[in-house]
């Protein structure tokens, strides 16, 4: 790992000015500093980063590829400083919502909530990052995002609070025309030996499924295990087997492509908005969560839950 060095905003500022103008003399004149001092500043910066930042071409300083790379990386730093200088950051939390979520939510339910929210809330900016559950939690804990939209099925990091908004119950996902479509409910005994698409072992729902088959003295025939409900649905669509799945939100947009039957005994998945335990949610974020809760009423196999923050569960991750 590279040895850290002391950052100097003045050196960065001079570096950016030279990239913008292409000449040391012009920058020295604009800032009223001596050219030798400006040249030394750039030389010191090159030594710190261990890269050649400029090449001289026809009397002008042209950034190298490393120079352009550093320039673009510094853009966000100076944009943030401009926000601090303008003091707009004081109210930014009321005018923006930063959300991190898993692919299943991003590609289905979340898009609908954002669309309806922006119609009701003028001037609020929403940014969305997509990652796995562990990365979603890290993003919230690290203050990179305000809300994490996820299923609380694989534990929650200490220091985070889950705000439940929906509970969905396990269903069996069948391709159209499957012989078991005629059943109202499917049980482990009925599924014994049939190829199944199930959650991966890192989810507590997988342990639940294994235990129910064991208790029923039924054979659990795992054709594939998936870390994402949308992938389960895709596997079922390719006739790889029957999926035991959380229906929310994976199959909401293509519910007509499958047959859904309740799985008994049922496993309950809790959809939550995760935020930092020590922080209260800004007004815009609270309104977004409340809208998501209301929209749950439009979905099958799902019910809303009270807006009561819950601490991390016993399956906390670190």
Indicate yes or no: pTM above 0.75: no
Say which range, 84-88, 277-281, 285-289, has the weakest mean pLDDT.
Answer: 84-88
pLDDT higher than threshold 50 for residue 16: yes
Structural domains of the chain in order of their starting residue, each with its CATH number: 9-89 (1.10.10.10), 92-164+269-304 (3.40.190.10), 171-266 (3.40.190.10)
Q: What is the spatial distance between Cα 126 and Cα 97, in angstroms, rounded to a whole number? A: 5
User: Closest by alpha carbon to 62, among 23, 33, 25?
Assistant: 23
Give yes or no for a cis peptide into 250 (omega within 30° of 0): no
Per-residue pLDDT band at 256 (split at 50, 70, 90):
low
How far is CA 188 from each of CA 203, 216, 248, 292, rounded to the nearest angstrom? 19, 6, 21, 33
Q: Which residue has the higher pLDDT, 155 or 128?
A: 128
CA atoms within 13 A of residue 217's CA, in its CB half-sphere:
0
Q: What is the spatial distance between Cα 169 and Cα 48, in angstroms, rounded to a whole number? A: 56
Alpha helices (H) in the chain, listed in sequence order = 9-21, 24-31, 35-49, 65-86, 92-95, 103-106, 109-120, 133-141, 188-191, 204-215, 229-237, 283-296
Per-residue pLDDT band at 316 (split at 50, 70, 90):
very low
Q: Is 48 helix (H, G, I), strand (E, B) or coil?
A: helix
CA atoms within 13 A of residue 258's CA, in its CB half-sphere:
27
Averaged pLDDT of the chain:
85
- Decide: residue 310, CB within 10 A, 0-12 exposed, 13-18 middle, 19+ buried: middle
Per-residue pLDDT band at 257 (split at 50, 70, 90):
confident
**CA dihedral angle for residue 286, residue 251, residue 150, residue 138, rounded to 10 degrees:** -130
Residues in CB range of 171: below 8 A, 6 or more apart: 244, 245, 247, 260, 261, 262, 263, 301
pLDDT in tens, 30-80: 888 888 888 899 999 999 888 999 988 877 888 899 988 898 888 878 877
């Amino acid at each position: 790992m590279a040895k850290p060095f002391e950052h100097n905003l003045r050196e960065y500022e001079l570096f950016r000015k030279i990239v913008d103008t292409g000449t040391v003399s012009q920058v020295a004149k604009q800032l009223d500093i001596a050219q030798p001092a400006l040249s030394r500043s750039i030389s010191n910066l090159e030594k710190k980063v261990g890269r050649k930042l400029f090449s001289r071409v026809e009397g002008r300083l042209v950034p190298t590829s490393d120079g352009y790379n550093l320039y673009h990386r510094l853009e966000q730093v100076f944009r943030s400083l401009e926000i601090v200088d303008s003091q707009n950051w004081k109210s930014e939390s009321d005018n923006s919502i930063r959300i991190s979520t898993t692919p299943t939510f991003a590609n289905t339910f979340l898009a609908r909530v954002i669309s309806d929210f922006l119609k009701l809330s003028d001037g609020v900016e929403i940014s969305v990052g997509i990652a796995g559950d562990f990365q979603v939690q890290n993003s919230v804990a690290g203050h990179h995002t305000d809300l994490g939209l996820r299923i609380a099925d694989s534990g929650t990091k200490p220091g985070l609070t889950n705000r439940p908004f929906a509970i969905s119950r396990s269903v069996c996902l069948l391709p159209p025309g499957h012989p078991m479509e005629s059943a109202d409910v499917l049980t482990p005994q009925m599924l014994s030996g049939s190829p199944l698409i199930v959650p991966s072992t890192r989810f507590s729902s997988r342990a639940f499924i294994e235990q129910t088959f064991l208790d029923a003295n039924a054979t659990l025939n795992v054709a594939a295990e998936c870390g994402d409900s949308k992938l389960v649905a895709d596997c079922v669509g390719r006739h790889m087997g029957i999926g035991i799945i959380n229906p929310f939100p994976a199959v909401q947009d293509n519910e007509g492509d499958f047959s859904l039957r309740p799985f008994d005994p049922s496993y309950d998945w809790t959809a939550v908005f995760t935020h930092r335990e020590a922080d209260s949610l800004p007004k815009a974020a609270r309104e977004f969560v409340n809208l998501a809760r209301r929209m749950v009423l439009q979905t099958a196999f799902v019910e809303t839950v009270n807006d009561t923050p819950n601490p991390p569960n016993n399956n906390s991750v670190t």
